[in-house]
Amino acid sequence: MNVKYLSIPLILFFSYTGFAQPPGYYNGTSGLKGEALKTELHEIINDHIDFSYSQARYLINYSDADPENENNVILFYTQRSQDADSYGTDGDQINREHVWAKSHGDFSGIRPMDGDAFNLQPADASVNMDRSNKDFGIVQPNGNQHPEATECWYNASTWEPGDATKGQVARILFYMATRYEGTSGEIDLEVVNGVNTYPQPKHGDLSALLEWNRQFPPTDFERRRNERLFTIQQNRNPFIDNPELADIIWANADPALVQFDSLSLSPNIPVAGKTAQLSFQLISEMQADELFVAVGETFNSEDQIIELDNTLTEQLIELDFTTFDKEQMVYIKLVAVVDGEEYVRPATIDLPRNVNISQLTTVAEVQGTANESPMLGQKVIIAGRVVANLDNSIYIQNGSGKYSGLCIFGSNKTGYVGDSVIIEGEVVEYSGLTELSNVSYFYNVKSNKPYEPTVLKVDEVGEDYEGMLVTIKDVSFANAGDIVPDENASYSFGDETGNMTIFSRYGSRLVGKTIPYGVVDVTGVVSQYNDDYQILVRNVDDFTQGNDTIAPEVTNVTILDKDWITVDFSERVDQATSEQIENYVFSSGITVLSAYRYSEATTVILNVEGLSVGTHTLTVNGVSDQMGNAIDNQTIEFESIVSKVDALMGENMRIYPNPSIGGVFTIETIDNIQRIEVYDFSGQVISVIPFNVLQGSISVSSIPGIYVLNIITDQTKYNKKVVVQ
């Protein structure tokens, strides 16, 4: 009788220490240097699965767990082992330390930067407070020795960590500067020479960081951290895997003369007791004196040596796993000796557990047809594809029929939407929602085959679609235009069959986004809280234009100052038509110089000249919504009072560019500025920036919008509105 097997992974808190990078992860980087290499690495590690800052606590409790006691974490600067539940603000409690200070670019509360676990470390609260947002650099023998983190030294501008964390700090900052390159609306972060970089999106001191990276290479603990975060965020820190890349990018070092590229493994998921084929290309101008592959049970080991034909550049090797056990990490090292020098490329293979297919339980069996699972309290193994990854849970489906969706709660490991996963856990019920919790096994096959959502009407949502990805078409929101706060919030929407809600958890990807106007389609997973069914939206892209035949309307015109006017619309408008200046005609000699659509595409800001005190009219024509419905000569009347403050500011102070792409503004002034208070357009203060004339520029925010600068000098106070594109 033939027995079929599926491969599933190790226990979540596995006992081995996993190192190095998977085969092929850095394919395509060979021979590159400088910005070209940095760009290629960015393409490899960007678009990771992001988490909120709140959820990141649980991620680093796993990544930084004490190897001797998984209930503790190793605190970063002090290297003290402490109970992972002791988070708080008291001196000896745990804080989440942003190694790249979040004020260097102002990304507090902004995903994915704020919750990126590669940049977060558990740290003693008082030490974290003393480090503050200082740059990193050499302080000794001057400055102050920290009384608690005694290996650390500091002065007013600079923090020098101890030897145990110098290399880690450098590689974290190198990661941040590579991961965040200003793409997809994110901040462009850069490591630079020097200190005093706050509040710009920069961190220093580059020369010290490069030296620390060379002096203090990755430790076993740091490599384990990289592996664990890889299973969570699905990306890696390249400078832990290959520390030499930092010098090739920032110190003008040349790539190695010998490189390994085009690594490939077949099958992708080898199993214990079998063989697999590893292929690669050797790139070298000289023939190798020696070429071999080492295989072992520990990092950098050479338990098995496979000698290769050194005259061939294209290699295909059979790896024998018959001596390895399931649930074991295999360490591989490609080695070429050329002109007496050894060149190495490490990799790892995680041998999974073998599970008989008869051990799998279907999601439908777990869900049952009643409100409560018939398998409550049982431990099961299930398979499915990810349809949503939210902060504290993922949702999977293993079909498109009814009862095929399920919530997986509390697992650190996750996957991209469309990835196939195999999971072991306990069936529980939480306030009416069937979940798989207490996850003990999680294996990601990475198939990348997303399910299409099931299209429903509101009155069709019920127990049979719980946990499934659905789309409800042609709905409208009662709270259209509301900004989603950073707290638990629900928003009602409806179609012709009834009403229901979307739910946004604090810290979700919807925080700061606008509930859409008009007729829209809503996609998300069906969840349940007690007797109410809810839709959990994955991100703002799950709101799409519905079957709308009504043109947008102008709802408000606001005078910001003599140069700027905002026009609000009743729904999201098309970028091309909303930014055509001929579509806006003012009375009384006002001329439109440029138009910018911003926010959630419901507001356009106009740069104008000729604005004067009095009553004016604006006629809008040709601006369309995203379905092509265009406004036909709508006229709105408004009042204007030109600010005298701006005229006074023009004599003493210049702020440019305005608008700014990225939110950095240069200030030229003869006044002595004490501080700058930054407000969003709703009047909420978002930051207070100390300023001196030598500083020259400020970073207001990376989020597009209109901001008010309250500039306090020793003589007076100015207000200036600025625009971030």
What is the tens place of the pLDDT at every residue in 415-435?
Answer: 999 999 999 999 999 999 999
Q: What is the C-alpha separation between 303 and 604, in angstroms, rounded?
A: 66
From 296-300, 311-315, 528-532, 566-570, the region with the lowest mean pLDDT: 296-300
558 CB burial (10 A radius; 0-12, 13-18, 19+): middle
What confidence category does residue 21 fall into, taking pLDDT thresholds of 50, 70 and 90? low
Residue 597: the pLDDT is 86
CATH number of 360-444: 2.40.50.140
pLDDT at 268: 83
At 601 the pLDDT is 78
Please name the helix (run of DSSP H) or strand (run of DSSP E) that holds residue 407, with its range, or none.
Answer: strand 405-409
454-545 CATH choice from 3.40.50.300, 2.40.110.10, 2.40.50.200, 3.40.1350.10: 2.40.50.200
Note the pLDDT tens digit of each residue in 584-627.
999 888 999 999 887 667 889 898 999 988 899 999 999 998 78
- Looking at residue 704, what is its pLDDT? 76
What average pLDDT does range 171-193 have in this prediction?
Answer: 95
Residue 417: partners with Cβ closer than 8 Å, 6 or more residues away: 386, 387, 388, 389, 450, 538
**H/E stretch holding 226:** helix 220-233
| Mean confidence (pLDDT) of the chain | 89
Phi first, then psi: give them for residue 683, nearest 5 degrees: 100, 5
Predicted confidence (pLDDT) at residue 208 exceeds the cutoff of 90? yes
Cβ 90 vs Cβ 125: under 8 Å? yes
Average pLDDT over residues 458-487: 94
pLDDT at position 576: 93
Share of the chain above pLDDT 90, in %: 66
What pLDDT is attached to residue 280? 95
Instruction: With cut-offs at 50, 70 and 90, classify the pLDDT of residue 642.
Output: low
- Measured between alpha carbons, how far is residue 114 from residues 57, 103, 213, 228 in Å? 12, 10, 24, 19
pLDDT (average), residues 572-582 = 92
pLDDT for 693 equals 56
Asked if residue 5 has pLDDT above 50, the reply is no
Q: Do domains 360-444 and 554-640 have the same CATH topology?
A: no
Q: Return d(Cα 563, Cα 616) in angstroms, integer.
A: 15
- What lies within 8 Å, CB to CB, of 287 at 6+ separation is 310, 311, 338
pLDDT at 27: 93
Residue 293 · residue 346 · CB < 8 Å: no
CA dihedral 579, 585, 590, 595 (to 10 degrees): 0
Residue 546 has pLDDT above 70, yes or no: yes
Q: Closest Cα partner for 689 from 703, 707, 677, 706?
A: 677
Give me the percent of the chain exceeding a pLDDT of 70. 94
pLDDT, position 706: 79
Nearest-angstrom CA–CA distance, 249 and 246: 5
pLDDT-derived band of residue 660, with 50, 70 and 90 as boundaries? confident
Q: Which has more pLDDT, 3 or 562? A: 562
Whether 95 and 125 have beta carbons less than 8 Å apart is answered as yes
As a whole number, mean pLDDT of residues 169-173 equals 98
Which residue would you say has higher pLDDT here, 347 or 96?
Answer: 96
Which range scores top for mean pLDDT: 58-72, 317-331, 627-641?
A: 58-72
Confidence check: pLDDT of 16 > 60: no
Mean pLDDT of all residues in 186-208: 95
Residue 78 has pLDDT above 60, yes or no: yes
Q: What is the pLDDT of residue 681?
A: 61
pLDDT value, residue 562: 81
Q: How confident is the model at residue 567 (pLDDT cuts 50, 70, 90)?
A: very high
Q: CA-CA distance, 153 to 102, in Å (whole number)?
A: 21
pTM of the model: 0.79
Q: What angle do CA 483, 57, 109 make, to 5 degrees?
A: 25
Average pLDDT over residues 492-515: 93
Looking at residue 136, its pLDDT comes to 98
Q: Are strands 153-154 and 144-145 parallel, antiparallel or unpaired?
A: antiparallel
More confident residue, 651 or 282: 282
**Tens-digit pLDDT profile for residues 360-403:** 999 999 999 998 999 999 999 999 999 999 999 999 999 999 99
The pLDDT assigned to 158 comes to 97
Instruction: For residue 191, list its beta bridge partners.
Output: 203
Distances (CA, A) of 704 to 118, 330, 456, 603: 26, 47, 35, 11
Per-residue pLDDT, 129: 94
Instruction: Judge whether 484 and 504 are in contact, CB under 8 Å.
Output: yes
Side chain identity, residue 138: I
Q: What is the pLDDT of residues 241-273, one digit of tens each?
A: 999 999 999 999 999 999 999 999 998 888 888
**CATH class entry, domain 644-724:** mainly beta
Q: Where are the domains of the chain?
A: 5-13+255-354, 34-250, 360-444, 454-545, 554-640, 644-724
Greatest alpha-carbon pair distance for the chain in Å reads 91
Q: CATH: 2.60.40.1220, 3.30.56.10, 3.30.310.50, 3.30.230.10. Which one for 554-640? A: 2.60.40.1220
DSSP 254: P
Is the confidence at residue 214, as pLDDT, over 70?
yes
Residues 212-228: what's their mean pLDDT? 95
Rounded Cα distance between 597 and 54, Å, is 32
167: pLDDT strictly greater than 50? yes
* Residue 650, pLDDT above cutoff 60: no
Token pair, residue 505, equals 């958890």
What's the rounded Cα separation, in Å, for the pair 316 and 65?
A: 38
Domain 5-13+255-354 homologous superfamily, CATH: Macroglobulin (MG2) domain (2.60.40.1930)
Distance in angstroms (rounded) separating the CA atoms of residues 516 and 544: 9
Per-residue model confidence (pLDDT) at position 438: 96
Q: Is the C-alpha dihedral spanning 466, 470, 472, 478 positive or negative?
A: positive
* Residue 610 region by backbone torsions, left for phi larger than 0, else alpha for psi between -120 and 50, else beta: left
Provide the pLDDT for residue 599: 60
In terms of Cα–Cα distance, which of 392, 543, 549 is closest to 482?
543
d(CA 421, CA 71): 27
Please confirm whether the linkage preceding 704 is cis (ω < 30° from 0): no
Taking only the tens place, the pLDDT of each residue in 662-710 is: 888 888 877 788 788 887 765 566 777 777 655 678 888 877 777 878 7
**Beta-bridge partners for 382:** 423
Q: What is the pLDDT of residues 346-365, one digit of tens each?
A: 888 878 878 778 889 999 99
Structural element, H or E, at residue 171? helix 163-179
The 3-state DSSP class for residue 431 equals coil
Helix (H, G, I), strand (E, B) or coil at 160: strand
